[in-house]
């Protein structure tokens, strides 16, 4: 996943839009936080957020602020934990469920990532989130579950109209219809299962939808050229 880092000025804007006027008992720490943002000191701003929460437990929106601050420090573990804490108080915050999903995947927690991606799908009804579920399931070795999720995407009428970025290695992502991407996942599943003919069939289905789908073309070519070995 390509990480996007948010500027400190935008963090301040998000804070000012989402929090009430500070109460006297933590006004000092709010001033410290605001001063730290102005001076670009992320670590002091983080500490001030914790002081605000410690002095006033109702200020749960500061967990959201911590997520954005930790994104700037590239602290994957703390980004995930701050998002998870935010969701304890605001369980239907789709931005935080997405962050929790992405960062639990980065941290190697597939079951947690799957749960958060599914929750994000429930909140947004965006089929892209189910594609993320299928990817995590496949990478975790949950082949049957990944195939079931891919089938759900394929059977959804709009899946050919929704696009997602997929790339070979470090190339610029190619925008591919979700249905073609789901067929590609099914092909890779059957490579892992050792079924050459079935794998080729699914890569062909993907290429029928998008003939220039680079990843599917490469997968098919690797099979045809013998780069991918199958037991006879």
Do 64 and 14 form a contact (C-beta atoms < 8 A)? Answer: yes
pLDDT band for 13, please (50, 70, 90 cuts). very low
Structure tokens at 10: 């935008």
Residue 133 in tokens: 């579920």
CA-based R_g, the chain, Å: 22
Write out pLDDT tens, residues 152-180.
999 999 999 999 999 877 778 999 999 99
229 vs 102, more confident: 102
Report d(CA 167, CA 93) in Å as an integer.
29
Confidence category of residue 17, pLDDT binned at 50, 70, 90: very low
- The pLDDT assigned to 196 comes to 93
Neighbour tally for 192: CB within 10 Å: 12
Given pLDDT bands bounded at 50, 70 and 90, which one contains residue 31? confident
Of 200, 192, 162, 197, residue with least CA distance to 179 = 162
Which DSSP category does 177 fall into?
A: E
**144: pLDDT strictly greater than 70:** yes
Task: Give 45-72 pLDDT, tens digit per residue.
Answer: 999 999 999 988 888 989 999 999 999 8
**Stretch 69-78: mean pLDDT:** 92
Q: pLDDT by residue (tens digit) across 202-226? A: 999 999 999 999 999 999 999 999 8
């Amino acid at each position: 996943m390509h990480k996007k880092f948010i500027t400190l000025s935008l963090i301040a804007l998000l804070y000012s839009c989402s929090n009430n006027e500070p109460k006297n008992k933590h006004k000092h720490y709010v001033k410290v936080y605001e001063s730290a943002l102005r001076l670009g000191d992320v670590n002091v701003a983080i500490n001030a957020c914790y002081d605000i929460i410690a002095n006033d437990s109702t200020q749960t929106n500061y967990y959201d602020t911590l997520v954005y601050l930790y994104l700037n420090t590239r602290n994957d573990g703390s980004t995930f934990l701050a998002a998870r804490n935010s969701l304890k108080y605001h369980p239907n915050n789709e931005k935080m469920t997405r962050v929790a999903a992405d960062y639990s995947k980065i941290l190697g927690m597939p079951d947690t990532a799957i749960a958060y991606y599914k929750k994000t799908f429930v909140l947004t009804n965006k089929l892209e989130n189910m594609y993320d579920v299928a990817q995590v399931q496949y990478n975790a070795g949950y082949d049957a579950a990944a195939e079931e999720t891919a089938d759900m995407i394929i059977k959804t009428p709009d899946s050919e109209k929704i696009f997602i970025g997929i790339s070979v290695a470090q190339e610029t992502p190619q925008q591919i219809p979700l249905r073609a991407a789901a067929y590609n996942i099914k092909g890779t599943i059957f490579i892992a299962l050792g079924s050459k003919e079935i794998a080729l069939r699914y890569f062909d289905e993907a290429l029928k939808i998008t003939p220039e789908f680079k990843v599917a073309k490469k997968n098919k070519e690797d099979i045809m050229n013998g780069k991918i070995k199958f037991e006879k």
